[in-house]
Amino acid sequence: MKLVSHWIDGASAVTGGRTSDVFNPATGAVSGQADLADEATVDRAVEAAKRAFPAWRDTSLVKRTQILFRFRELLDQNRDALAERITAEHGKVHADALGEVARGLEVVEFACGIPHLLKGGFSENVSTSVDSFSLRQPLGVVGGITPFNFPAMVPMWMFPVAIACGNTFVLKPSERDPSASLLIAELWQRAGLPDGVFNVVQGDKVAVDRLLTHPDVKAVSFVGSTPIARYVYETGTAHGKRVQALGGAKNHMLVLPDADLDLVADSAVSAGFGSAGERCMAISVVLAVDPIGDDLVSKIAERTRKIKVGAGDDPASEMGALVTKVHRDKVASYLDLGEGKIVVDGRENLPEGGGFWLGPTVIDHVPAGSRTHREEIFGPVLSIVRVSSYEEGVELINSGEYGNGTAIFTNDGGAARRFQNEVEVGMIGVNVPIPVPMAFYSFGGWKASLFGDTHVHGTEGVHFYTRGKVVTSRWLDPSHGGVNLGFPTNR
Q: Which residues bind ligand NAD (CB under 6 A)?
A: 145-150, 154, 172, 174-175, 204-205, 208, 223-225, 228, 246-249, 280, 376, 378, 404, 445, 449
Q: Enumerate residues 6+ apart whose C-beta is below 8 A from 377.
A: 277, 284, 331, 334
* Alpha carbon distances (Å) from 15 to 18, 177, 275, 293, 411: 8, 18, 32, 56, 57
Shortest Å distance, C-beta 422 to ligand NAD: 22
Shortest Å distance, C-beta 377 to ligand NAD: 10
Nearer to ligand NAD, 88 or 220 (CB): 220
Concatenated DSSP letters of 173-218? --TTS-THHHHHHHHHHHHTPPTTSEEE---SHHHHHHHHH-TTEE
Nearer to ligand NAD, 56 or 233 (CB): 233
Q: Give me Rg for the CA atoms of the chain.
A: 25
Cα separation, 448 vs 246, whole angstroms: 8
Residue (of 177, 142, 182, 159) closest to 11 by Cα position: 182
Shortest Å distance, C-beta 445 to ligand NAD: 6
Shortest Å distance, C-beta 86 to ligand NAD: 14
Nearer to ligand NAD, 96 or 175 (CB): 175
Residue (of 384, 41, 417, 387) closest to 206 by Cα position: 41
Nearer to ligand NAD, 149 or 199 (CB): 149
Cα separation, 462 vs 161, whole angstroms: 6
The number of beta carbons lying within 10 Å of the beta carbon of residue 468 is 10
Among all residues, whose Cβ is closest to ligand NAD? 224
Angle at 392 (CA atoms; ends 374, 422), nearest 5 degrees: 90
Nearer to ligand NAD, 82 or 296 (CB): 82
Cα separation, 239 vs 218, whole angstroms: 9
At 149, phi and psi to the nearest 5?
Answer: -80, -20
Nearer to ligand NAD, 25 or 147 (CB): 147
The residues annotated as belonging to the active site are 280
Question: Which contiguous run of DSSP H or E holds residue 355?
Answer: none
Q: Any long-range contacts for 455-460 (C-beta under 8 Å, 24+ apart)?
A: 455/244, 455/426, 456/157, 456/158, 456/221, 456/223, 456/244, 456/246, 457/107, 457/110, 457/157, 457/158, 457/161, 458/110, 459/117
* Alpha carbon distances (Å) from 286 to 11, 130, 319, 393: 48, 60, 20, 10
Nearer to ligand NAD, 19 or 149 (CB): 149
Cα separation, 70 vs 445, whole angstroms: 32
Nearer to ligand NAD, 141 or 289 (CB): 141
Shortest Å distance, C-beta 353 to ligand NAD: 24
Shortest Å distance, C-beta 175 to ligand NAD: 5
Shortest Å distance, C-beta 188 to ligand NAD: 20
Shortest Å distance, C-beta 402 to ligand NAD: 8
Residue (of 253, 252, 254) closest to 402 by Cα position: 252
Cα 214 to chain center, whole Å?
23
Which of the 8 DSSP states describes residue 40? H
